[in-house]
Amino acid sequence: MDDNPYQAARVVRQAKWFAVARILSAAVALIFQFLLVRHLSVADYVSYTILTAANGILVLATQFGMDRTVYRFVPPLRERGQWRELLTFMLGLLVTRQAAILLLVALFGAFGALVLPAQIDAEVRRLPWHYLWYAVAVGCTDSLAIFCNSVGLQGRQALMLTAMTTGRMVLCVALLWWSGALTAVAVGTVLVATELALAAAMLALLLGEYRRRRQGATLAHGRPWAFGFTWRELLVDSLSTQLTYMLSLPFRGGVLKLIVGAIATPVVTASFGFFQTIADRAYQFMPIFMMKGMLEPALASDYALRRDIGRVQLTVSMLMRLNFVILAFALAVLLGCGEPLIDWVTNGRYGREGLVAGLLLVQLGAMTVGEALWVGLNPLGRIAHHNKIWVWAAAICYGAIGLAAAGRNTPALIVVSALPYVLVYGWLRWVSAEPMLEHDLGLRSFWRLALPMGAALLMARLVLAGGDGHVGVTLSLAAASVAFLAALRQARLFRRAELLEIEQISPRLARLFKYVAPV
C-alpha cells in the first residue's frame, strides 16, 4: 500500500511528532508527581502509591504478551488490507484481557484478606471502587495504545496521552485551589475519570481508522479467513512472553513498591514510592521504550521484506546508546547536586535518600538492556528462546529477592531487581551466541560517556560551592546540563560508519544522531 506506515522515512517523520508529544507528556507527568508529593499527606501518598503499583501489576498480569504478538502479527495483516481479520484479532485480545481483569479483581476482593499483607489489604479496602475502575480503564487504554501503535497511529495516540496527562494535573490543581488540600480519594477519582476518557478517545480513533481503511480495501465477502499465522504460533509466543512478564514482576517497580510497603514504615514506603514512581515514569519516556511501539512493527515489516539482521542491530544499538546518554546525565546530576535538588523538589522530605535514587538509575540501565533484547529479537521471530532464558534467570534471582526482603534492605532489593536483565543478556551473548548480539549492541563504547559525566559533575559541584539554596541548585543544574552537552559532542559515541549506514536507511534519522553526538 502506498501509505505504508512502516516505511523508514514515514516512521522517522512520525517519530518526530510522537517524541514531542511524549516529552511534553513526560514533563507534565513529572510536575504532577511533584504536586502530589508536596500536597498529599504521607498516609495519602502511601495510598496513591499502592493504588498505582497494584494496578500496574494487575495490568501486566493480564497482558498475555499482547504488545509483542500484536507488533509482530498486525503489520502483515494491515499491509495486506485484511481489516476483517485485524479487527477480529484486536477485539478478541481486548475482550479476553478485560475478562481476566474482572476475574482477578473479584478474586482479590473476596479473598484479599487471606493472601495479601495486612497493610496492603487495608489500603485496598479503603478505595475498593477506585481499584476496580482504574484497573478496567488502564487495561483498556494499554490495549488500545498497543493497537494504535501497530497500525501507524502513534502520533495521534501520543497527543491524546498528553492531553489526558495535562487534564489530570489541571483537575488536581483545581481541587487543590477549591478545597485547599488533596486526598487519596480525590486523586484516585481523577485518575479513573481521565483514564476512562482516554480509553474512549483512543477507541474512537481506532474505529475511525478502521472505517476509513475498510472503504478502500477489497471486500471480504466470500474470501476465506486467513490470519497469516497459526493459533499454536500465537499461543506459544503469547504465553511464553506472558510467563516471562509474570516471572519478572518481582524485579519491577510495582511489586518492589508493594514489598517495601509490606515491610517498611510509612515514611520509608512514601520516599521509596516517590523515587520508584519517578524512575518508572522516566523509563516510559526513554528512547528505547518510548519508540518500541513505533519501531517493532517497522522492524518486523522490514525484516520480513529484506531478511537483513544488520538493520535491526543498528537501529536497536543506536537507540540503546541514546538511553544511556540520558541515564549518564541523570547520574551526573545526582552526584553533583543530588541532596539539595531532592530536598527542593520534595519540600525537604527525602534529600537523604540519594543512594536509593542512584541505584534506581542502575535499575533503569539494566531494564534498557532488557528492552533492547525484546525490541531486537521479537521482529526476528526469535523471542521464544529469550523467554526460556528469562525463566531460569528469574528463578535464580527469586532467592535473592526473598533475602533482601527478609533483611528489610531497600538498596539490596533494587540491586537484585537489575540482575535478571544482566544474566539474560550474558547468556544470550556468550553462551547462546545470539547473532543479534554479535557486536554487543554498542555496549563497548559506553566508556566514552565518562567525559561528559565528569564535566557535568565538576560544574555542578563548583556552582553549588557558592550556595545550595534554590538559586544555587537551579544554577548548578543549568551548568551541569551545558557542560554535559558540550562534552557529549566530543565523546564520539557513534561511529562514522554507523552514521553513514543509518543515513542510507533514513537521512532524517542520521541527522538526529549527528545532532546528539556528531563525529
Asked whether residue 426 is assigned to any structural domain, the reply reads yes
Buried b (16+ CB within 10 A) or exposed e, 284-301: ebbbbbbbbbbbbbbbbb
pLDDT reported for residue 12: 55
Q: Per-residue pLDDT tens for 222-241? A: 566 676 777 777 887 788 87
The grid cell for 448 is 566514552
Asked whether residue 221 is assigned to any structural domain, the reply reads no
Shared domain check, 211 and 312:
no
Q: Please tell me the distance from the alpha carbon of residue 441 to that of residue 498, in angstroms, as a whole number.
A: 12
Q: Per-residue pLDDT tens for 357-371? A: 888 888 889 988 988
Asked whether residue 259 is assigned to any structural domain, the reply reads no
pLDDT reported for residue 492: 77
Looking at the predicted structure, is the pLDDT value of residue 244 above 50? yes
Shared domain check, 292 and 187:
no
Shared domain check, 247 and 277:
no
Asked whether residue 225 is assigned to any structural domain, the reply reads no
Q: Please tell me the distance from the alpha carbon of residue 440 to that of residue 178, in angstroms, as a whole number.
A: 55
The mean pLDDT of the chain is: 80
pLDDT reported for residue 17: 63
Looking at the predicted structure, is the pLDDT value of residue 397 above 90? no
Domain that holds residue 491: 270-518
Shared domain check, 317 and 442:
yes
Asked whether residue 162 is assigned to any structural domain, the reply reads yes
Shared domain check, 292 and 157:
no
Looking at the predicted structure, is the pLDDT value of residue 505 above 80? no
> How many CB atoms are closer than 10 A to CB 136?
19
Shared domain check, 282 and 244:
no
pLDDT > 70: what percent of the chain?
Answer: 85
Q: Identify the helix (H) or strand (E) that includes residue 67.
A: helix 66-79
Contact 101, 136 (CB under 8 A): yes
Shared domain check, 195 and 276:
no
Asked whether residue 264 is assigned to any structural domain, the reply reads no
138 band by pLDDT with thresholds 50, 70 and 90: very high
Residue 3 CB partners (closer than 8 Å, separation 6+): none
79 band by pLDDT with thresholds 50, 70 and 90: confident
Shared domain check, 202 and 139:
yes
Shared domain check, 331 and 474:
yes
- Which of 60-69, 94-103, 415-424 has the least mean pLDDT? 60-69
Shared domain check, 370 and 298:
yes
Q: Position of cell 513498591?
A: 257
Most confidently modeled range among 13-22, 173-182, 352-361? 173-182
pLDDT reported for residue 480: 92
SS3 of 148-198: the string is: HHHCCCHHHHHHHHHHHHHHHHHHHHHHHHHHCCCCHHHHHHHHHHHHHHH
121 band by pLDDT with thresholds 50, 70 and 90: confident
pLDDT reported for residue 122: 77
**What's the structural domain count of the chain?**
2
Shared domain check, 282 and 247:
no
Q: Per-residue pLDDT tens for 295-347? A: 777 777 777 777 788 888 888 888 888 889 989 999 998 888 877 888 887 77
Residue 430 CB partners (closer than 8 Å, separation 6+): none
Asked whether residue 258 is assigned to any structural domain, the reply reads no
Average pLDDT over residues 366-389: 84
Q: Which residue has the higher pLDDT, 498 or 357?
A: 357
Shared domain check, 301 and 240:
no
Q: How many degrees, rounded to 5, is the angle at CA 29 between CA 25 and CA 33?
A: 175
Q: Which of 223, 251, 279 is the last residue of a domain?
A: 251
Q: Position of cell 526460556?
A: 388
Contact 174, 28 (CB under 8 A): no
Asked whether residue 195 is assigned to any structural domain, the reply reads yes
pLDDT reported for residue 457: 92
1 band by pLDDT with thresholds 50, 70 and 90: very low
Most confidently modeled range among 39-43, 343-347, 383-387, 416-420? 416-420
Q: Per-residue pLDDT tens for 13-38? A: 555 666 677 677 777 877 888 888 88
493 band by pLDDT with thresholds 50, 70 and 90: confident
Looking at the predicted structure, is the pLDDT value of residue 249 above 50? yes
